[in-house]
Structure 1
Amino acid sequence: MKKWWNWILAVALICLLFIAIPISLSKNKEQMYRPMFDEYVEKFNKSYKNKTDEYETRFQHFMASMEEIERLNAESRGPDDHRARYGLTKLSDMSKAEYREIHLSDEKVTKHPSHYGKTWKDRRKNHTDDHKREPGDQITNNVYVIIGRQKRAALPMQVDWRTKGAVGPVRDQGMCGACWAFSTVGAMESMAAINTGKMTTLSVQEVIDCAGLGNNGCAGGDICVLLDWLAITDTAVETDSQYPLRLLDGACRLPANATGVRLSSFTCDDLVANEGRILQMLATHGPVAVAVNALTWQNYLGGVVQYHCSGAKADLNHAVQLVGYDLTKDIPYYIAKNSWGTEFGINGYLHLAIGSNICGLANEVASVDVI
């Protein structure tokens, strides 16, 4: 009987040990992260610093972010000065569910554009013939540079429309899920600047308030559906000074005699197997708007995103503007302009690897021409 009792006691002690170890580790983590969290709260001037319940909830989210940051940095590969870097951002105290809800629910990619009838195809240029790889296409850093069938020439190794005064300031969409509007209007104002030589910030708020065809203001929309609506209605996008940004849904206040920038034509294509076409657009035409999957961008600080970012069309949840590229680096990348303020990433920008449909950026690529 004594042997049985000893055996039961030994098992009980082992079970208690396995329970106690995680609890101890958890307490150690809390002790380690608590001073870091206090510094974080001060640095980003968080409003809950004196609200005990919310403070503790945010601390738990912060610790989860720290674990993700460690994992993503461990998985990043490549030269130290190019690999993606992750760390604490103003979003690091959000739960994943909250981050998805606030920042990743705004790009609602339309699966069947033809639902809107012939207008979709009739009002956009068709570049299908240019997409196929042909003998003689150049390969630069493993990326096919396709110039089309009529003319072939080497594309520049670097393109950055910011240096040409054709990219507007980074803006912050805040709690308004309107990335689809920021990225598309950004592409329109870039093309207007290229045409006129003058950069004028256009009204994102007008698009939030007025765009139809299923676009739903701060509750989300789609870059290509927005372009289709602009083409169908021949709507002029006014300047931001005429129709200021409020980051709230409102009634459309567009005057009947609006004289802003109008769309003359657009393309919206799946270029997953043809990223050379994206490079061509950026080099010879101008910035483009793209849908992306930004799930792992919550704690992005800089470097080139190459991994741990699904490219599946079903995972698209955000939209950004591509404003250039760099083929001279060990890891060639696109320059992407985000709409989460200048505190995000590289002064509001991030670098996305070329050639692998990273974060799904090639699933829905929109270019525009304006008048």
Structure 2
Amino acid sequence: MKVELQYLVVTATVCTLLFSSCCLNVSTDETRAGSGPGSNSPAVNFAAFREHFDRVYDVNSEEFHRRHLYYQVGDKNKRETETCRGGTVDTFCTLMNSKNSIQRHAYLKNVSLTPQSAQYGINKFSDFSQEEFKDLYLRATADRAPPYTGLKTEGLPAKFDWREKAVVAPVQNQQACGSCWAFSVVGAMQSVHAIQGSPLTQLSVQQVLDCSYQNKGCNGGSTVRALNWLKQTREKLVPQKEYPYKAKTGICHFFPQSHGGVSVENFTAHDFSGQEEAMMGQLVEKGPLAAIVDAVSWQDYLGGIIQHHCSSQWSNHAVLVVGYNTMGDIPYWIVQNSWGTTWGNEGYVYIRIGGNVCGIADSVAAVVL
């Protein structure tokens, strides 16, 4: 009984730490962890978690027991010995080898102790296994991009955010479909279209998903291959309302050339690793950028600035870089994700500038319309 009581005390303490929304001392509201519901959620047990995140699986079902297990103790990655063989020790292997979700959160939090650091804990993905999360959401592939050899832009502002110019569409939700690559490309296109003076219009992600034959729809794709397809075919993307998102791959719906839409004239794709200041210049000059990142640890992200624990070795997710801020102690990229507004900082993630954190600079594409 004494051992059980000690276990309950330790468990309660860990849960309290995971759900605390006052664990940061940050200088701006933007980088404050906890703008999403996971940070101050009352979900200290699985019943509360299900209610908070509107989970509807039957309590007597196999899915309920499986989700409860993932939420409570996580799962052992089935492919860990294959992926991490050879004695390699990195963040991916550490996370995948964590025996349970509490250990995973503790690991992430222990290396995130600097000011404004990212915070991790229970969020909308906490009843997913690590492998399931990776298979559903991390389906982007990165084509090797040439190193950037251009000049750096002089006189850049200390802070720049395309959202402030009303040319960034609201955060979308890809749902259980590996379509991040399409959301990233379409996000860049619709922003550049608005920057050029047209009304901000959400373009059809489903059209890219169904018709970009060089990619695999919900099973994954590449931003560069999608842009290549758009450039070569001069396919015009129609508004989302004409070709709505279904979160599943469908049959391509063709439109006549006379139909209105937005097409890609050209694009650039470069590796800015070691040259993130030049990447800032590209953002200011050309508009929001489509980037491929390592997002393995983002399953547990609540908010704040990611400064550690993601590498450039496991590019797996496409995002849209919409701005940067170098005014505080920790300069950071402002990145729009496609997992809905209940994730992260109301759908955004902040990544430290410098050091190519999460591989943010490895493969970065700018669109020309």
Q: Same fold by TM (over 0.5)?
A: yes
User: Who wins on radius of gyration, i.e. which is larger?
Assistant: 1
Correspondence for 1:4 = none
Deviation at 1:55, TM superposition (A): 3.0
1:36 & 1:159 partners in 2: Cα distance? 41
On the 8 A contact 1:41/1:49 being kept in 2, the answer is no
The amino acid that maps onto 1:316 is S
Q: Which residue of 1 is the match for residue 323 of structure 2?
A: 324
Per the TM alignment, residue 236 of structure 1 is displaced from its structure 2 partner at its CA by 0.9
Identity over aligned pairs, percent: 37
CA drift of 1:65 comes to 2.2
Tell me the residue number matched to 1:304: 305
With normalisation by structure 1, the TM-score equals 0.79
Is the 1:180–1:318 Cα contact (8 Å) retained in structure 2? Answer: yes
Q: CA deviation at 1:205?
A: 0.4
Instruction: Within 5 Å, give how 1:80-91 maps onto structure 2.
Output: 82-91=116-125
TM-score, normalised relative to structure 2: 0.79
Partner of 2:224: 224
Summarize the Cα distance change of 1:99–1:268 in structure 2 as closer, same or farther, 3 Å threshold.
same
* Of 129, 137, 142, the match for 1:109: 142
Once the two structures are TM-superposed, the CA of residue 77 in structure 1 deviates from its matched residue by 2.5
Corresponding residue of 2:103: 67
One-letter code of the match for 2:128?
Answer: M
Map 1:214-363 → 2, pairs under 5 A: 215-257=215-257, 258-312=259-313, 315-363=314-362
Query: CA–CA distance in 2 between the matches of 1:127 and 1:360?
Result: 14
CA distance in 1, matches of 2:163, 2:148: 29
Distance in 1, Cα, partners of 2:148 & 2:330? 28
Counterpart pick for 1:98 among 114, 123, 132: 132
84 and 38 in structure 1: CA distance in 2 versus 1, 3 angstrom threshold: same
State the shift of 1:174 in Å. Answer: 0.5
Query: Which one of the candidate residues 150, 166, 172 is aligned to 1:130?
Result: 150
- The number of residue pairs the alignment matches comes to 313
2-side partners of 1:27 and 1:47: how far apart? 30
Q: Flag the 1:66–1:37 CA change in 2: closer, same or farther, 3 A.
A: farther
**CA pair 238-47 structure 1, distance change in 2 beyond 3 A:** same
Return the letter of the residue paired with 1:281. Q
Amino acid at match of 1:99: F
The superposition leaves residues 323-347 of structure 1 with CA deviations (integer Å, 9 ceiling, x where unpaired) of 0000001110000000000101011
The CA distance in 1 between the partners of 2:344 and 2:12, in whole Å, is 27
Partner of 2:32: none
Q: Deviations over 1:191-221 (max 9, x none)?
A: 00000242000000000010122x1111111
- 3-state SS of the aligned residue for 2:367? strand
Which of 315-324 and 261-270 deviates more? 261-270
Structure 1 CA distance for aligned equivalents of residues 149 and 282 of structure 2? 15
Matches of 1:233 and 1:172 in 2, distance apart? Answer: 27
CA distance in 2, matches of 1:127, 1:53: 49
Alignment of 1:176-215 (within 5 A): 176-213=177-214, 215=215
Q: Are the structure 2 counterparts of residues 327 and 28 from structure 1 closer, same or farther at C-alpha, using a change threshold of 3 Å?
A: closer
Correspondences of 1:48-67 after superposition (within 5 Å): 48=57, 50-51=59-60, 53-63=62-72, 64-67=100-103
Alignment gaps of 5+ in structure 1: 1-20, 114-125, 132-145, 148-152
- Residues 89-115 of structure 1 show CA distances to partners (whole Å, capped at 9, x for unaligned) of 1101111111111111x202235x8xx
Inter-CA distance 98–26: structure 2 relative to 1 (3 Å threshold): farther
Distance in 2 (alpha carbons) for counterparts of 1:40 and 1:223: 35
> What is the Cα deviation at residue 311 of structure 1?
1.6
| Shift in Å, 1:52 | 5.3
Deviations 1:328-370 (A, max 9, x none): 0111000000000010101100101101111111111000111
Deviations 1:43-95 (A, max 9, x none): 1121125235433322221232232122211210221xx11011211101111
Partner SS, residue 181 of structure 2: helix
Deviates further, 27-36 or 185-194: 27-36
Letter in 2 for 1:157: A
* Change in CA separation of 1:32 and 1:271 when aligned onto 2, cut-off 3 Å: closer
Counterpart of 1:211 in structure 2: which amino acid? S
String of CA shifts for 1:114-172, please: whole Å, max 9, x gaps: xxxxxxxxxxxx994415xxxxxxxxxxxxxx22xxxxx32001111111111001110
By how many angstroms is 1:29 displaced? 4.7
TM superposition outliers: structure 1 runs of 4+ over 6 Å: 30-34
Match of 2:54 in 1: 45
Distance 1:276 1:49 in 2: 51
